[in-house]
Amino acid sequence: IGTKVNETKAFELYKLAEEKGYIIAQNNLGYCYEEGIGTEVNEIKALELYKLAAENEHITAQNNLDMHISMGVNLRNYTHIKQHVESLL
């Protein structure tokens, strides 16, 4: 429809929704942190949010968290992040 995408605004709105406890926003904000959408990439914050949403039974978040843990996606060269993931278990 011609509307410009504002990634920073989207990130801010997901953050507000996450602070109010919206489970979908927890997962989506995690994705923003993982991909650097509207913010700097922060794998640890992404994983924490995926874990929070997964604990709230969000299926996609459970899958996202599982992918990071079982496949080591983006973690192979980041020992500190890998250790953090293991501490989430």
Summarised one tens digit per residue, pLDDT across range 13-34 is 999 999 999 999 999 999 999 9
Query: Is 58 part of a structural domain of the chain?
Result: yes
Q: How many CB atoms lie within 10 A of CB 88?
A: 16
Q: What is the pLDDT of residues 35-76, one digit of tens each?
A: 999 999 998 899 889 989 988 989 999 888 888 777 665 555
CB 11 within 8 A of CB 32: yes
Q: Give the range of the structural domain holding residue 13, as residue numbers without chain letter.
A: 7-88
DSSP 42-69: -HHHHHHHHHHHHHTT-HHHHHHHHHHH
23 CB contacts (<8 Å, ≥6 apart)? 53, 56, 57, 58, 61
How many domains does the chain fold into? Answer: 1
CB 74 within 8 A of CB 44: no
- Residue at 1 is within a domain: no
In a domain, 2, yes or no: no
